[in-house]
Amino acid sequence: MNDVNEKGITEVMQYLPMRIQNVIVKMNSQYKSSIKEIRLRSNKPVVIVTEKGCAFLSVLGKISYIMSDNTVILSCDELSDTVKRICGFSLYAHQSEITDGFITLKGGHRVGICGTAVNENGKTISVKDINCINIRIAGEKQGCATEIISNIFTNGLSNIIIAGAPMSGKTTVLRELVRQISDGNAGEYYKCAVMDERCEIAAVNGTEFENNVGINTDVLSNYPKGKGVAQAVRTLSPDMIFCDETSSLDEVKDILNAIMCGVHFAVTVHADSLRDLYKRNVPSRLIGSGLFNYVVMLGTKTNIGKVERIIKVGEKDLENCGNSIACNDMYSFGKSDERKNA
Amino acid sequence: MSVKMLERIKILEQTVMMLRQMKTQIVFKREPITILLENIVNGENYNKLTYINDVIDKMNAGFDFFDAWKKSINTFIKISALRRDDEYLLISFASNFGQSDAQGQAAECDACINLLEMRIEALKSKAENGIKIYNMLGILSGIFIAIILF
C-alpha cells in the first residue's frame, strides 16, 4: 500500500504549485506514504491528512501536527494556478464535474472543490471563486477484498452492500472486488460491469484503464448511475454490476429494478455503523428490499480498507439495529426472505 | 513579397482550420487543450503550424497554457511569414482560452475565426491586386520595348 500511496502522491504532485512540489520532494517516503489527503485553502496553511489526523506541511519537507513558523502557507494565486492545472487549463472539459463539486484526476484521485455556486433557475451552473480544494489520494490495495470473496462468493454471486464512513476505503475495496471477481477468483470468469460515475474506480484515461479492474470488466464512465445501469442490463448482459456511492432513492430504484432482471450487485454506501445503515434512507431501502444478501462493514483510521464485519442480512444484530425503522416501510428480514422464497 | 504573403495566407488558413477542429472537439467531446493540441499535431493538414509542437513541449515542461502559447507564438513569428498583428490576434485568443463553459469557448473560437477570415480575405485581394499590377507593368514594358524597336 505504501508504494501505491507514493505513486499516488507522485501523480498528484504535477498539479501542485512548484513551491509545494519542492517541499514534497524533500519528504522521506514514510511521510509521503502516510498522506491520504492534501487540503489547499487560499492564504491558509497546507493541511495534510494522515491516518493519525490533520497535520501541516513544513517548508523543511516534514509533517507537523502543530502549526509553526515553518508551516507552508498557500497563496491565492497558487490555489488559482492549481485549479487551472487540475482542469487541464480547460474549465469547459470539467463543467459538469465542477458543478457537482469535484474533479477526478488521472489515476482516480478525487479533488473536492469549494467555492461560490452560480445558480440559474434553481440549478447550479458553475462554481466561481474557488477558495479550497481537497485532493484525496486514491490507491489500489491488492488483496483487500479477499476476505469478502472467501466468505461470500464461494458458492456463486450475491448482492452485497459495502458500508463505511468517509475515508474507510469503500472505493478501494469495491475496485479490488471487481478485479477479483472479473479475474475468476470467485470460481469462474463472471462478466462484470462498473458504473464509474466519478471515474475513480477504473480511472479511465482515453480508452485505457489506469487502475486494474480485471480482465472481464466493462466500464461505463461518467454515466449517471440510473442510465448506466439500464444500459448495462440492456446491452452488456453483466453477471454483476458494481456501483460506488449509491446516494439517492432514484438510484436505489434503478438498482432494485436491475436485480429483478437477474443481475447481481455490489454497491457502496456511507454508513458509520450498523445503526447508521438504518438511519439513512438509501442503505435502509436497499436492505429492506430483501434483495441484498450481505452487508460488509469497513474499518476506519488504522483499519482503512479492511473488512471489519460481514453480516448476512437476516442476522439478529442487524435486525436489532434496524428494528425501529424497519417497521415503517420495509419488510423485516425474515419476512422478506419468505417473500423471496415464495 | 508575394511568396511571403502566400505563405502567410497558408498559415492563417491552417489556423482557421485548426480553430474549427478545436471548436468541434470542445462542443462535442469536451476535450481538454492538451488533447486538442495532440490531435492537431497528429493531423495531416497542419504542416505549417509548427508552433503547436512547441506549445506541447512547453506545457509538458510545466508552463501553463497561456505562457506556453505566448512564448511559442513569439518564437514562431520570428521565423515564419506571420506579422506582428497576427501575433497579437493569436495571443489574445489564448488569453481567454479554457476559462469558460463549452458554449463560451465555441464563441471565442468563432470570434477568432471571423477575424482571421477577414484578414485572409484582405490579404488575398491585396495579393490579387499585386498580381494585376505586375501583369500591367509587364504589358507596359512590352509595349515600351516594341515602340523603341520600331
**Strands A294-298, A192-196: parallel, antiparallel or unpaired by DSSP?**
unpaired
Q: What ipTM is given for this predicted complex?
A: 0.81
Instruction: Look at residue A320 in the predicted model and tell me its pLDDT.
Output: 56
Q: Which helix (H) or strand (E) holds A175?
A: helix A170-182
Q: What is the C-alpha to C-alpha distance for residues A192 and A199, in angstroms, rounded to an integer?
A: 16
pTM of this prediction? 0.76
Q: Looking at the DSSP assignment, which residues form a beta bridge with residue A297?
A: A163, A309
Q: What is the C-alpha to C-alpha distance for residues A217 and A261, in angstroms, rounded to an integer?
A: 19
**Which residue among A85, A87, A92 places its CB closest to the CB of B102?**
A92
Neighboring chain B residues of A93 at a CB cutoff of 8 Å: 30-32
Neighboring chain B residues of A86 at a CB cutoff of 8 Å: none
Neighboring chain B residues of A89 at a CB cutoff of 8 Å: 32-34, 64-66, 97-98
Q: What is the C-alpha to C-alpha distance for residues B26 and B20, in angstroms, rounded to an integer?
A: 10
**Beta carbons of A92 and B62 less than 8 Å apart:** no
- CA nearest to A117, candidates A107, A125, A127, A109: A127
Per residue in A135-178, pLDDT tens?
A: 999 877 888 899 999 999 988 899 999 999 888 889 999 999 99
Best of B27, B58, B63, B65 to substitute, by most chain A Cβ atoms within 10 angstroms, is B65
- Which residue has 510545466 as its cell numbers? B62
Per residue in A38-78, pLDDT tens?
A: 999 999 999 999 888 899 999 988 888 888 888 999 999 99
**Beta carbons of A85 and B105 less than 8 Å apart:** no
The single-letter code of the amino acid at A272 is: D
The single-letter code of the amino acid at B126 is: K
Chain B nearest C-alpha distance from A129 (Å): 13
User: DSSP string spanning B80-146?
Assistant: SS--HHHHHHHHHHHHTTTSS-HHHHHHHHHHHHHHHHHHHHHHHHHHHHHHHHHHHHHHHHHHHHH
Per residue in B20-73, pLDDT tens?
A: 999 999 999 999 999 999 999 998 888 899 999 999 999 998 898 999 999 999
**Residue B94, pLDDT above cutoff 50:** yes
Question: A230-239, A270-279, B75-84: lowest mean pLDDT where?
Answer: A270-279
The single-letter code of the amino acid at A142 is: Q
Residue A98 · residue A129 · CB < 8 Å: no
Q: For chain A, how many residues are written? A: 342
**Which residue among B31, B65, B101 places its CB closest to the CB of A89?**
B65
A309-313: list long-range contacts, CB under 8 Å, 24+ apart: A310/A147, A310/A148, A310/A151, A310/A152, A311/A274, A313/A287
**Which residue among B33, B62, B101 places its CB closest to the CB of A89?**
B33
**Which residue among A85, A88, A92 places its CB closest to the CB of B105?**
A92
**Beta carbons of B101 and A84 less than 8 Å apart:** no
Best of A78, A84, A90 to substitute, by most chain B Cβ atoms within 10 angstroms, is A90
DSSP secondary structure code for residue A295 in this structure: E
**Beta carbons of A90 and B102 less than 8 Å apart:** no
- Per-residue cell: B62: 510545466
Q: In this structure, how many other beta carbons lie within 10 angstroms of the beta carbon of residue A335?
A: 12
Q: For chain B, how many residues are written? A: 150
Count of CB pairs separated by less than 8 Å, A with B: 45
B143 vs A334 pLDDT, higher one: B143
**Strands A294-298, A307-312: parallel, antiparallel or unpaired by DSSP?**
antiparallel
- CA nearest to A311, candidates A274, A270, A282, A266: A274
Q: What is the C-alpha to C-alpha distance for residues A331 and A312, in angstroms, rounded to an integer?
A: 16
